[in-house]
Amino acid sequence: MTDDGTNDPTAFEELAFEHLDYGVDEHVGRITIMRPERLNALDDDLLLELAMAIDLAEGDVEVRALVITGEGRAFVAGADLAALAGIRDGFAGREAALAGQDVMNSLAALPFPTIAAINGFALGGGLELALACDLRVATPSAKLGLPEVTRGLIPGYGGTQRLQRLIGLSRATDLVLTGRMIGAEEAHAFGLVHRLADDALAAALELARTLVRNGPIALGLAKEALVRGADVTLPQGLEIEADLFGLAVTTDDAKEGIASFFAKRDADFSGQ
């Protein structure tokens, strides 16, 4: 963190990740979770690395969209049950849930679009990770669910809250209380998955490249309007939208976007 409170990407230059890979190509950041022998299950070390990678993406001025995927046959198959087995008191359990929620919240709060490329199992903490993204692309063979109750637990990384806000209380209640897995087709019908593709990562990267051709400031403000407006009344949401539109219209990107329209050319956004 720099003196002015912003993230300093140079602080991460020598950072070596053990269980994930981070890279940036043409304004699209990518995080690949690499723990395939455990189906990319989230333990404390992986959560810490994921938090650092999210911070790295946020502080990287080149990043205008972020794609998250998993290596092997899983996106993320859940939290690591071996790590949870040693928790024996409620305080420690609460702290474990809050630690996971902090990571998901930091992902959800990123000021640019995020996409989950669901290449296989997205269960428990894995689905909660996908839910913290703005968009979800899945292979037709992907399996999604929150199976915690089948192990005597409940979702702890935001699943009970984000899922119902996304697909409605009735459908979320079905999935949470039964703990059943659903296929990608059903998830797509529910609105849980936005797009289906045989190669989820390639489709997610293509979508991200489409997004980053838009004004980066506008993308961030539009995302903020959607998120902040989701939990307020319509009049309050319209006030939020008007305030953020007022910010957008003063940017150099807005001037460039309007000028490019009249000049019949592609816009060249600077992010200013």
SS3 116: strand
- CA dist., res. 59 & res. 63, Å (int): 8
Residue 148 bears catalytic tag:
yes
Catalytic residue among 14, 148, 185, 206: 148
The beta strands (E) that lie in the chain are given as 20-25, 28-33, 65-70, 74-76, 114-118, 121-123, 135-138, 143-145, 182-183, 195-196
Q: Strand pairing partners for 24? A: 29
> Which helix (H) or strand (E) segment is 163 a member of?
helix 159-167
Residue 59's pLDDT is 94
Which of 93, 11, 75 is CA-nearest to residue 38?
Answer: 75
Q: Could you give the C-alpha distances from 212 to 1, 27, 209, in angstroms and in order?
A: 26, 7, 5
Residue 8's pLDDT is 52
Q: Any idea where the domains of the chain sit in the sequence?
A: 9-211, 216-263
CATH class in words for 216-263:
mainly alpha
Residue 15's pLDDT is 65
Residue 237, both tokens: 């949401």
SS3 246: helix
Residue 162, both tokens: 């984000």
Catalytic residue among 128, 186, 206, 256: 128
Q: Do the Cβ atoms of 135 and 207 come closer than 8 Å?
A: yes
Q: How many CA atoms, within 13 angstroms, populate the side-chain half-sphere of residue 89? A: 2
Q: Do the Cβ atoms of 50 and 20 come closer than 8 Å?
A: yes
Q: What value, to the nearest 5°, has the Cα angle with vertex 247 and ends 166 and 2?
A: 85
Residue 58 bears catalytic tag:
no
Q: Could you give the C-alpha distances from 107 to 92, 228, 233, 247, in angstroms and in order?
A: 23, 15, 25, 23
Low-confidence ranges of the chain (pLDDT < 50): 1-7, 9-14
Residue 91's pLDDT is 86
Q: Residues in the chain, how many?
A: 272
Q: Beta 65-70 vs 20-25: how paired, if at all? A: unpaired
Architecture of domain 9-211: Alpha-Beta Complex (3.90)
Residue 10's pLDDT is 45
